[in-house]
Amino acid sequence: MPTDAPRPARIAGLIAWGVALGLLFVLWQRPGLLMDLVRPAASTTDCDLAAEPCTVPLAGGGQATITVLPTGLPAGRPLSWTVALQGAPDLRPTALEITGLSMNMGITRLPLLPDGEAWVAEGALPLCTSTTMQWRIDLLATRAGAAEAATLHTWSGRAAGGAADASSGTSSGTSSSTASPHGRAPAPDRPATHGDFTLDTAEGALALSDLQGKVVVLYFGYTSCPDICPTTLAAVGQAFDLLTPDERARVAGLFVSLDPERDALPRLQRYAAWFAPEIRAGTASPDHIARIAADWGVAWRKVPLTDSALGYAIDHSTDAMLVGADGRFLAPIAHGTPPAELAARLRQALAEPQEAPTEPGG
């Protein structure tokens, strides 16, 4: 009898493993499901935002209409987003957060700014595929001091009638097999301050302020990122190639690793220099990195990958940031911005007058 006692336990263990594997398979097929479980109270609307404005109901009353131009959600192009409210005078929209449902595409966070009676943002979808892609768009807002959100599911890469439009996509460096279960990364819980910070690099400590005098492209990511990070850094390197030698001497890149656990300093240095010698790279302790990311409005989170040798991925905001030669934050740079456009923005930043430091007693 004692020899038979462990058998029910083994059977129960096998059943538990089977259920766990089944749940992982479901989450792999639907990477947005966990996000839905995390925020079950959020209203969800299915709408073809590429074809028409979409209206979503708000939990506290009223509704919001989201419009994107140009229509069609074209790949790799900056998009203009507008949020108009109806019947919600006390609601303050703060941001749109975009995540991939068909594929793990990281997080794109678009801060909303007031524009008359509407709220507006600029930013591209982080497209890495020419096939039909489903997205989750969260409208984040506050009402009477409390957080509120509404959720929209939409698509890109579809022609009229719902067919996939291969001509509207970009070349893909990512397979859908890289999708992973993930939830929405927590956005910073306070406004971005865009302050100075110090990183550890292979050459010693490096502060953002050490790069003053140069226009800086600042980007947060990690070296194991399969698609978004190398695409962005390659565009930065190509934009630098389009500058004159004098202009190039007055620009720099700074890559901040959100993965200090794996991104050793020599690895970071080699990774960044591969895209352009002007790109520096560093990281810091997990707590310090969390503070830096919050200061710069970067949303991110570690995502376990049970079916991958990597062990985990990091979902993160996809925008880079343009920092003036005087150290001031100038503007976000949407993922997918063409190198020629980025080079033009660098030239514009180089031509801008710098804020003179305040003299004592002045």
Range name among 5-19, 261-275, 308-322 with the lowest pLDDT average: 5-19
Range name among 179-188, 218-227, 269-278 with the lowest pLDDT average: 179-188
Instruction: Express each pLDDT in 217-240 by its tens digit.
Output: 999 999 987 767 788 899 999 999
User: Which pLDDT band, with edges at 50, 70 and 90, does 26 fall under?
Assistant: very low
Determine the 3-state secondary structure of 128 from DSSP.
coil
Which pLDDT value is given to residue 288? 95
Range name among 9-13, 134-138, 166-170, 352-356 with the lowest pLDDT average: 166-170
Domain boundaries of the chain, sorted by first residue: 36-169, 198-351
Better-predicted residue by pLDDT, 313 or 278: 278
Which pLDDT value is given to residue 300? 83
Q: Which residues of 262-291 are buried (b: 16+ CB within 10 A; e: fewer)?
A: ebebeebbebbeebbebbbbbbbeeeebee
The CATH number assigned to the domain with range 36-169 reads 2.60.40.1930
Range name among 23-37, 149-163, 235-249, 331-345 with the lowest pLDDT average: 23-37
| Mean pLDDT score, 199-226 | 94
Tokens read off for 328: 């001031």
Better-predicted residue by pLDDT, 310 or 2: 310
Q: Per DSSP, what are the bridge partners of residue 21?
A: none
Which among 269, 253, 239 has a CA at the least distance from the CA of 211? 253
Which pLDDT value is given to residue 182? 32
Which among 155, 150, 156 has a CA at the least distance from the CA of 138? 150
| Mean pLDDT score, 320-342 | 91
- Does pLDDT of 308 surpass 50? yes
Is the fold of 36-169 the same as that of 198-351? Answer: no
Which among 30, 263, 253 has a CA at the least distance from the CA of 153? 30
User: Which pLDDT band, with edges at 50, 70 and 90, does 183 fall under?
Assistant: very low
Instruction: Express each pLDDT in 31-64 by its tens digit.
Output: 444 444 444 445 678 888 888 999 999 988 999 9
Q: Which residue has the tokens 């990122």?
A: 225
Which pLDDT value is given to residue 16? 65
| Mean pLDDT score, 283-301 | 90
Which pLDDT value is given to residue 228? 74
Instruction: Quote the mean pLDDT of the chain.
Output: 78
Better-predicted residue by pLDDT, 211 or 183: 211
Which pLDDT value is given to residue 179? 29
Instruction: Express each pLDDT in 67-107 by its tens digit.
Output: 999 888 776 567 899 999 999 999 999 999 888 776 656 67
Which range scores top for mean pLDDT: 156-165, 168-177, 261-270, 301-310?
Answer: 261-270
Range name among 27-31, 129-133, 260-264 with the lowest pLDDT average: 27-31
Better-predicted residue by pLDDT, 54 or 311: 54
Distance CA 282, CA 267 (A): 10
| Mean pLDDT score, 162-187 | 33
Percentage with pLDDT > 70 across the chain: 71
pTM of the model: 0.56
| Mean pLDDT score, 136-160 | 84
**The pairing of beta strand 43-46 with beta strand 146-156:** parallel
Looking at domain 198-351, its CATH superfamily turns out to be: Glutaredoxin (3.40.30.10)
